[in-house]
Structure 1
Amino acid sequence: MRSNWFNRLLISYLPVFFMISLSLLFMTYYTLNEMSRESAIRTNQALTSNIAKLLDSNLASMDALLLYEIRNNARLRDFFSDKAGPQQQFIDVQASAFLKEFVQNNPMLHSLYLYRTPDMTVLTPDTRTKLEQFPDREQIGLMVNSSEPYEWTARWLPQSLEDDSPGLPVISLAKTTNLQKLSILVANVRIELLYEWMTSMADRQLTFVHIMDQQGNLIVSTVEGAVTGTAANTSDVLAAAVSKQTGWIIASGNRNVGLFSFVSSQFYLWMGVAAFIVIAGFSWIIYVSRRQYKPVQDLISLAERARQGGRQAAAESAQEDEFKLIGAAIEELLDESNTLQEQQKELSIYHKRHLFLSLMEEVHTEANFGSYLAEEMQRLGIDKPVTGLLVSVVEIDSYEEFANQYRGDQHLLKYILGAAVKELTENQPYTVWTEWISNAKMGMLYLFHEGESVQEVYGRCEELRDWVANNLDFTVTIGIGSMAQRLESTAESFQGALAAVGYKFSLGMNRLIVPSDMSAQPKGELFQQLQYVRAISKAIRQGEDKWQAYYEEMLQALSGQLNTREDVISLMQVLVGYLQKDMAELGDEIHAMWMSEVHPSLQLILQEETQREVITAYRRQLQRGFEKISQLRESRSAHQQMHLIKQYIEERYDNSELSLSHLSEVFNFSTSYLSRLFREAFGMKFIEFVTKVRMDKAMELLAETDETIQDIGRNVGYDQSLTFIRVFKKHTGETPGQYRKKLRNESE
């Protein structure tokens, strides 16, 4: 499909978009640039003000210090006095020493000297000379003859009379010491000191600072190559301040700001140009949009005619925007077509699934069902005659874990599983029809056309199981039914496959279960296992380790037969019920421990997938519970005493007077307290334990001796033989005579 209209729109709008975007960027840049300039001005104003304050402060301090010394220093007064006489030379030496000390104590000063007008003598820290021999005599003459007040003055200080160089740049201040004789004190401050002050407060790489006199000539500058005494370049100055002490001008600005200054100067011009471009761009967009809208109008006319029409459609069109109207018209046409296609597809899928499930549900005996199936098979593309069939059921192992792990990907994984079946059975002489019959189970119907071998199907199913185990994160168990000859008998093969996969609880997961696997082992008869359940519970209650032997016997019996999950779970639930009842008889502490720590774990184990997992986990939890009960029993203070009582009973079981009253007298316990401790310690009532000990001894005597029933009854504590016979039958289900006779018959 050609995209002429798209290209036209792109060519029309894209340049305008770039121009407007660039203009907005320029406007933003100029705005930020102007803000930066204002910030730079404020920064430089603060800088120049601080430098001016520093300059004024230091020079004012020096001025005040000189004035103080002139007024108060005796050595200065003596130097300028007319009454020195013969001591004049000594006085001059003292004044020179003062000058040296003063210069040393004030690092600002470069030099300091005194001029005495009557004898035209100049005194420095190191020398005393006449005016005509002093290098700075011209400056002294100007100062003495000046009628203006003395101020700080920037000048060149000559180094010697013979040297023609300009000298050293300094700033000087003259102070009158004797107004009548015009004698003065001259202080010279190093010009480098001003440079150090400026560089300490400003970054030379970013900012320049000039100190100029009132005529605009440079006194000192941070700009390299600037010449003192020349006119300063003030074109880039952003801020200036005036020194109150000297009247000098301190000016500063940013360095390398040629482009910056140019852009700032043209700010309003650039903003005007950018605004013009933006307005022109929007005007162009409006013009082009009107030009490009005509094809849309034509499409709207077609869309309105394609829709249902009438006043209602016109009213709806007025409320909708143009593209929505066009889209709605196209969508209505596409929806009608898609709806019909989806309905046809859904009906086909539903019909196919319904046919598959109807074949699996029951055996059909209707006379016309065979012809109906033939027609449906041809519709599904199966036109070959069916000579036999086989059903297998593929079940995802640990489905709850699978569902929790792949909440959003279950359908994808099931689709992959179906695709794997299709790939493995491709180009085979038989036809495979698969449908998901539940969330975890997929049914597979193998249709044979030329008498294919069942073993070939077994091989394909084993390949499928192996492929899933090696390539996916879950496993499957496949149950295969028996061979059927007619489609009407599909349900029989399906029920066999369903039963086969149900026995994976006993046979194990991730395997193939065929009819021969089920016929090789007898079906489970769990009624016989109930005796082990009661014995296990009773032994645990009584604290006897032989519960493990009972458990192993039950496990061996279960392992030798096929059991469904429901049967084994029911058996385990019976065991849980017995244990819960027996633990309630051992006292509140043991019962509370059992219900809070052991019982919930036993209930969770019932969710395991295989018989081996359930039996193994149960044994582990029962061992833990048995150890907990033993610990609780051992922790009780009366436990040792109860063992002594138990030993006493086992040694004196033949005493017919053996009772709770008798024991309470022997061991100094009340009968009620003794009865409760006995139940909590041994898990049974006193009378039950005594009866068990007597019956065990009686069975031993019946088996090993020829004593009469009456004598054996007396030997185990029953004076009345009828009482002995009644208790023995209740305990064993047989009379003593029947029991002895059975033992002798077995030995023969």
Structure 2
Amino acid sequence: MNRLWLHRMIWSYVPLYFIFFTFLFIVFVHTMEEQLRLSAKDSSAVFARQMLQSVDITLKSVEYRIIRELLHNGRLADFMLEKGPADVYARYEIAMQLRELKKELAVIDSFYLLRFSDGLAFNGNVLARSSGETMAVGFAAATASGAEGSRWTDVRPFREYPFQQERMVTSLVYPVPDSRQPKGLLIVNVSAAALREQASGLFDGKGTFVRLYDRSGAPVFAQGDAEAVAEGRALAAISSDYTGWKLESGFHGRAPLRSTSGHSLLWMTLVIVIGALGAFSVVYVTRQHYKPIERLIGRIHVLDSQRFRAAGNTGRSGPDEFAFIASAIESLAARSTTSEKRVVEADIWRRKQLIRELLAGAAPPDKLAALTGTQGSCAAAFIVEIDRPRQTFGQYSARDQSLFRYIIGSVAGELAGQSGRELWEEWLSPTRLSAVLFGHCSDRGDRGDPEAGAIGEALVRWVSDYLSFTVTVGIGDTVRSLDQVALSYRQAEEALRYKAALGHGRTIRYRKEDAEGKAEPDTRSQAIRRIAEAYRSGGDEWIWELEQFFERMRSGRLDRETIGERTKALLTEIDLRTSGFCDPYYAQWAGEVLPEARRAAERFETIDDLRAELTAILKRYLERLERLRGLRGHHETMKEIRSCIEREYANPDLSLDYLSSRFPIGAKYLSQLFKEEFGENFHDFLTSVRIRHARVWLADETLSIQDVGEKVGYPNGATFRRVFRRVVGISPQDYRKKGFHPNGQTDKGGGRT
């Protein structure tokens, strides 16, 4: 036998091992790279902070010198306050002092003195009236100082003379002599290029970059090799509390990881060694686990060598080990299952056949003798019938109905088993469970079996508590011989005939006096005449008489057929009395009410159902008579209401309440009168009028669907589409696309709606 499953186990574990091992290695490498990235990010943040601090120190030194100059150089304030003839020497000294300051601070590009009184601007060389450029700088500086707390402006292009090229500068603006009542401004421009040159000395720029932005996001400068500046991803971004500028720094490409390449060979060697040791351990452990299977195969082979050869084992080309074990087990299980199934099916079939023979009285004597010896000589038949099967049981699917039938049969059998009796049951119809309760006869002479009644009542309670419908149980007499079970079964059927009078959800025992009948005084015809006469007069007395009529039938334990016949006799008497009505009134009785009442007398389940339905039918007819008698007084009013609807159909507020406010009729009564006068209710008539006009408007393609809905009283477009589809069968869009005319014809295919 081939060790196929040994090889399969090994090759199923090895790939998983290598996948897991590779995953761990990738995680390790990724962790190293992530650690290096975090280290690079931290170092980049430190570098960016130092670089930004260097820029801030440079700008702060400029601002410090300007403040110092403003505090100690009174000539600047004198220049701003100058009103008489110009002091040329004073201006010369100012120019020389500012040039010395520019020489001292190499980052300063230029400076201005701007006097507010006459708009004079002085740059140390030229006196001129202030231009829009200088004023814009002053305004930007004031705005920046108020919004950000810094007197430095954002980077801007600047040229001192028209013939010069523009260069990027940032400006420091200070009021002179003070910020409370300034007479002018001192504007100092610092070169962005000078700041870039100062920053270039802090790093080599190989694979790294820095980018500095002002408050508006405009670049102040970018430092590093061109590829790093263009493609580098920022690892750190620091904002200055002093200027509000932001500096970004980072690396280009995989520069932080280049230092790890030296250890690659060592790591790969270690991975290969660990992988080889792991693969060896997988093979070794798998072979150790396979040894019990090998011993089991050997024992099966010794015990069933003939079967093993039949399976096709010819040396190493034979079946694998698990196929051999599965074949032996499946064969044994198949033989056992087939035998058990045949025994169970045969027993079920014999039991069902015997139940049918017992209930029909056609059981062979030998079977009766054998059954008497095992189950006893006494038996009682009973029938479990589902109440209102169409209204309750019929709402479930066929699969659910089968499940309910199984549940009811199982519960009945369990209840019989709790009392020490055996129950044989069979569903001879979809709604009737026929059963035989076996037991040994007692010495008592009573015909009723108290245990059969207790089982039936317990079953009725259980179904009522746990299922959504009820059952009624009919029980026959206990017979002392099994060949009389058919008689007990007929008695159970007879008992169920009285369910109409006694009601649903109960246990009914067979009574001989019910079958033989009772003598009844001949007062039935008098009661029927009283009910008909009271109904003809239109008062409420007929309701009480009808209640008494049904109560007498209930107390008499009449079967369903008798109750139905007496009810039809009552309807015939009422028909005779109402035939004297005028034609419109009697036509409704004969054409609608009487057929409906007769159908109720034929299809009822219990006497309570019949009483409730018949009372409701007769009440509705009397109420209709009352309305018909008062209808003629409102005929002209109803015609006016209909005309109003046809005129004002486009009014969204048109409703029964609206009409009741226009006409002296209540909304509810108006709805009733409208239906009786015109044969359809108010809402259906209003909808038909609106949709009829909507078809005409849809022919005008200049109107949108929303516009058409508003023209016919539907301001909500979704409501108009839903109502139109419900009435016409298609949407307004499709109606317009197909070219339907208001009369139902179409230009695109010749069809009709």
TM tier, smaller: 0.3 to 0.5
TM-score (norm 1): 0.46
Rg larger in structure: 1
TM-score (norm 2): 0.46
